[in-house]
């Protein structure tokens, strides 16, 4: 943009300096996660603490898997995140398609309900959700985590926006003349056209499910069914935390997200801000 000022040439290097120092501060905690994950226990407690990688990573992972069923937890996190993502993509694209392409009674009221549900603080539903799951015997069940998370209002909003701009209504009419049923139009005509939006929503859903803490904390009670964040938290002890093992676990938990971000940062950022800019 045209805010570059040619008179004060010293201002830009200073600004760049501040921004780059900030960037280092932003990334430093990740760096230290990986540093501590590779250090033996006694080295972590030495002064000054280690500032570079050691060679104890495998041993720390061993300690980690001895202390908690970490591979189980990782599997649980993956299972819940994948199920949430698949169901959310299916449900949200169907509902978004209906809101974008059909005229029907109560459409406006129903869409208001969808948007309104985004305003409710998740905090409000925590206790009653726990009680409901307790009552229907779903405590410790992964479905208690992925089913509620699959009805994501934000996803419906995102899908509706994308479908109404990317899919022409004439296409549906053409499909109907060719004898397509309504579900068939959604499945074989619309879905293939909205790949980019599905990708974005899938990323956002997977990441938020992977990071989710409060819901699994109250719903998952046995160590085998913990998701990774809850499992990591269970290793924390007020007096005697094994930081090498905890950091190894944290590093493994953070790594898939860093990889996803490295691959898709642009799409992810665009998707997250889509609602903000248009709405």
Give the Cα separation of 36 and 46 in Å (integer): 12
Q: Does 109 bind other proteins (CB under 8 A)?
A: no
The residues in 141-170 that bind other proteins, with binding defined as CB under 8 A, are: 147-148, 150-151, 153, 156
Residue 22 or 195: the one with the smaller Cβ distance to other proteins is: 22
Which of 246, 219, 242 minimizes the C-alpha distance to 233? 246
Among 17, 165, 184, 259, binds other proteins (CB under 8 A): 184
Closest distance of CB 58 from other proteins, Å: 20
Number of residues that bind other proteins (CB under 8 A): 106
Q: How far is CA 28 from the centre of its chain?
A: 22
Enumerate residues 6+ apart whose C-beta is below 8 A from 267: 196, 199, 200, 203
234 and 68 Cβ atoms separated by less than 8 Å: yes
- Considering only 112, 168, 173, 224, the residue that binds other proteins (CB under 8 A) is 173
Name the minimum Å distance from CB 217 to other proteins: 8
Q: How far is the CB of 62 from other proteins (least distance, A)?
A: 19
By CB under 8 A, the residues from 33 to 92 that bind other proteins are 33, 36, 44-49, 51, 90-92
Distance CA 101, CA 237 (A): 54
Binders of other proteins among residues 224 to 243 (CB under 8 A) are 228-230, 232-233, 236, 238, 243
C-beta atoms surrounding 151 within 10 Å: 15
How far apart CA 53 and CA 35 sit, in angstroms, is 5
Q: Which is nearer to other proteins, 147 or 166 (CB)?
A: 147
Select the span of 56-64, 68-76, 194-202, 251-259 touching other proteins (CB under 8 A): 251-259
**Rounded to the nearest whole angstrom, what is the least distance from the CB of residue 90 to other proteins in the complex?**
8
Q: How many CB atoms lie within 10 A of CB 73?
A: 27
């Amino acid at each position: 943009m045209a805010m570059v000022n040619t008179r004060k040439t010293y201002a830009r290097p200073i600004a760049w300096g501040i921004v780059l120092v900030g960037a280092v501060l932003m990334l430093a905690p990740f760096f230290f996660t990986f540093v501590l994950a590779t250090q033996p226990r006694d080295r972590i407690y030495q002064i000054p603490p280690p500032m570079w990688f050691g060679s104890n990573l495998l041993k720390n992972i061993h300690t980690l898997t001895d202390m908690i069923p970490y591979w189980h937890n990782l599997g649980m996190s993956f299972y819940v995140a994948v199920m949430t993502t698949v169901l959310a993509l299916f449900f949200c694209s169907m509902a978004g398609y209906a809101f974008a392409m059909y005229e029907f009674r109560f459409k406006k009221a129903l869409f208001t309900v969808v948007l309104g549900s985004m305003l409710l603080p998740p905090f409000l539903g925590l206790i009653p959700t726990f009680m409901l799951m307790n009552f229907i015997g779903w405590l410790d069940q992964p479905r208690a985590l992925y089913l509620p998370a699959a009805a994501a209002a934000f996803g419906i909003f995102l899908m509706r926006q994308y479908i109404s701009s990317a899919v022409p209504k004439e296409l549906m009419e053409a499909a109907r003349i060719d004898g397509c049923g309504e579900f068939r139009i959604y499945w074989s005509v619309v879905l293939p056209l909205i790949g980019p939006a599905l990708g974005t929503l899938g990323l956002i859903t997977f990441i938020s499910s992977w990071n989710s803490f409060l819901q699994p904390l109250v719903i998952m009670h046995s160590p085998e069914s913990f998701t990774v964040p809850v499992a990591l938290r269970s290793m924390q002890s007020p007096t005697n935390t094994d930081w090498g093992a905890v950091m190894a676990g944290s590093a493994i938990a953070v790594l898939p997200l860093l990889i996803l971000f490295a691959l898709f940062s642009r799409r992810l950022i665009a998707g997250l801000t889509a609602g903000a800019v248009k709405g």
